[in-house]
Amino acid sequence: MTDTAKPDSPAPDSGADAGTVDKRRIRLIMTGLLLGLFMAALDQTIISAALRTIADDLDGLSEQAWANTSYMITSVITTALYGKLSDIYGRRPVYVSAVGIFILGSVLSGLAQSMTTLAVFRGIQGLGAGGLMSLAFAILTDLVPLTERSRYQAWFGAVFGVSAVIGPVAGGFFAGLDSFLGATGWRWAFFVNVPIGLAAALLIGTLVRVQPNRTRHKFDIAGLLALIACLLPLLFAVEQGPKWGWTDQGTLLLFGLGAVGLVLFLLAQKRAADAALLPTPMFRNPLFSVYNGVNVLIGAAVFGALSVLPLYFQMVKGLSPTEAGLMMLPQTLGIVVAGRIAGPYVTKTGRYKVVLLTGLVLMVAATLWFGTLTVDTSLWLTGVAAGLMGFGIGLCWQVMLIAIQTGVAPQYMGAGMGSFTFFRQIGGTAGIAVFLSMFFGAVGEKVAAAYRDAASDPAFAAALNDPSVTGQAANKVLLGARDGAVPMDDSSFLDHADPRLAKPFLEGLAEAMQTVFVVSAVMLLIALVLAAVPKEKRREPAAGAPGGAKEQGKQPAGKN
């Protein structure tokens, strides 16, 4: 299955003066990478505020999890694939191909006519997104030495922060438009990717030339097929488990198929050796293994919790999509500020474990805070909790990537960087599937209980006994939920419902969301314990920093 790895010798750079030409090219290449990352990150956030509008328009609110999970499933599978392909065939052609696939998926998603077709087209987007995220870090690794890498990675972190700011606001803006240039407003949340993607492909396609440590391996087809056989049934099981029941025969069968796929994948990776999608030697480093495990837990907890938070703002608090997007700004500010603090600190001191543990503590506190949200919670308190969550996220993900890079050999750098996004996306996909299913599965019981408790409320009783109120269409739908028949495919009736009759419904929604947030906090607590176990492997401080070697600053960037 494998051939002996033979590194290609880097071709000489065409520039006469490597010092100035390389720096200029690095800046332009970084611009292309940032655009690609921005596009992929934006696509995860831009629909968060628009998804309720999209789902109502396509009559599929209860199916909205698939619009996210299909994207993340395919991006998970292809993350490891792109890293390995780029090690074999080079970063440039693989990256440009990923951009093209992403643009195609974006256009198709903007043309979707049902939640089912949207989920399929989002899956095509995910096929490209896996490359945009993992290859950005691999290309950066080719360009600059380890001692200078934190400075550039801070820009990557900033892009995720900016996309987190712009995404929900832009998604809410587009969702609030009836139409724009002949298309329904929310469809532009996908069409906007086209010009961004073309610019990224142009820059990377023309400027990235040679990569060091390029290997010649046969491609691990068996590993890819086994990975698909493992992930698809497992992710489908966690998505359907809350609905079918965790002991249902269908759920158990899917888990069994996933377990068989996992065994086949491990055997395929062992047989493929250095040609494996995820080469097994990488996992002999305890930091690499443990922190990727922590990465999975954080991905599940963060993506799962934050998939529910926009629903709280729009459904429980009654905010418009644009207003809900603006309420996510404190979280984004926290991510950006934390990134600006964590990167320089690790660069100067070489210490990352204390940053990771601090971030996890803050995230546990934030999710427990989310677990107290009710109909009457002040928005400013929710904003503070979101800011705390963002600060914790900004600390955690950046330093985990640094730890992984430190433990990966050069010949595995593409696969190693891909693994960071791979494991985070696995966690995120499972988190969104499980948490949204958990929420929709608990809503009926929580709403019915809230209506039983509301029977003693004079305001509710007065509205219930007023035929002019109960006779309205929106209120008829609302009162049907008293027996647990909660209509979740189209929630637009809430915009026209009587506040007195709607309050128990909203209280039930909030209580169902509280369950999700508490589970998220428990997962983060487990991640905190795991992250505290391994002994920190101190990185050398960067050139010019206290304790750093001055001559390191003169090390030239790798020719690319």
- Per residue in 181-197, pLDDT tens? 777 778 888 888 899 99
The pairing of beta strand 183-184 with beta strand 179-180: antiparallel
> Does the residue 545 lie in any domain?
no
Helix then strand then coil, % of the chain, to nearest 5: 80, 0, 20
Q: Are residues 69 and 24 in the same domain?
A: yes
> Does the residue 524 lie in any domain?
yes
The SS3 assignment for 510 reads helix
Nearest to residue 478, comparing CAs of 453, 456, 499, 461?
499
Residue 510 burial by CB count (10 A; 0-12/13-18/19+): exposed, middle or buried?
Answer: buried
The SS3 assignment for 179 reads strand
Report the DSSP beta bridge partners of residue 63.
none
Q: What is the C-alpha to C-alpha distance for residues 118 and 59, in angstroms, rounded to an integer?
A: 12
Q: What is the C-alpha to C-alpha distance for residues 478 and 487, in angstroms, rounded to an integer?
A: 8
Residue 266 burial by CB count (10 A; 0-12/13-18/19+): exposed, middle or buried?
Answer: middle
Estimate the crossing angle of helix 91-110 against helix 115-143, to 10 degrees: 160
Q: How many angstroms separate the first and last alpha carbons of the chain?
A: 29
* Residue ranges making up the domain that contains 103: 18-220+277-445+512-537
Q: Are residues 254 and 284 in the same domain?
A: no
The pLDDT of residue 371? 92
Q: Are residues 251 and 340 in the same domain?
A: no
- Domain end marker among 231, 249, 276: 276
> Does the residue 542 lie in any domain?
no
Q: What is the C-alpha to C-alpha distance for residues 395 and 336, in angstroms, rounded to an integer?
A: 10
Q: Are residues 30 and 131 in the same domain?
A: yes
> Does the residue 1 lie in any domain?
no
Q: Are residues 161 and 51 in the same domain?
A: yes
Query: What six digits make up the tokens of 441?
Result: 């599965």
Q: Are residues 387 and 257 in the same domain?
A: no
Q: Are residues 379 and 393 in the same domain?
A: yes
> Does the residue 213 lie in any domain?
yes
> Residue 437: which CATH number?
1.20.1250.20
Neighbours of 455 (CB within 10 A): 11
How many helical (H) and strand (E) elements, i.e. helices and strands, does the chain have?
A: 20, 2
Domain count of the chain? 3
Query: What six digits make up the tokens of 352?
Result: 């990352």
Query: What six digits make up the tokens of 245?
Result: 């029941």
> Does the residue 556 lie in any domain?
no
- Domain end marker among 249, 276, 303: 276
Full-model pTM: 0.71
* Alpha carbon distances (Å) from 359 to 301, 332, 338, 366: 13, 15, 9, 11
Q: Are residues 50 and 107 in the same domain?
A: yes
Report the 3 state secondary structure along 527-558.
HHHHHCCCCCCCCCCCCCCCCCCHHHHHCCCC
Q: Are residues 450 and 427 in the same domain?
A: no
Report the DSSP beta bridge partners of residue 183.
180
Q: Are residues 206 and 90 in the same domain?
A: yes
Query: What six digits make up the tokens of 465?
Result: 């006994």
Query: What six digits make up the tokens of 101?
Result: 């696939």
Q: Are residues 188 and 208 in the same domain?
A: yes
> Does the residue 332 lie in any domain?
yes
Q: What is the C-alpha to C-alpha distance for residues 427 and 306, in angstroms, rounded to an integer?
A: 13
The pLDDT of residue 274? 67
**Helix locations, 90-207, DSSP H:** 91-110, 115-143, 146-176, 188-191, 193-207
The stretches in the chain having pLDDT less than 70 are: 1-21, 44-45, 48-49, 52, 59-65, 68, 80, 145-154, 157-158, 160-162, 164-165, 168, 176, 210-219, 239-243, 274-275, 321, 403, 405-415, 417-418, 483-492, 537-560
> Does the residue 331 lie in any domain?
yes
The SS3 assignment for 184 reads strand
Task: Note whether 407 and 400 are within 8 A (CB).
Answer: no
Q: Are residues 143 and 58 in the same domain?
A: yes
The pLDDT of residue 142? 75
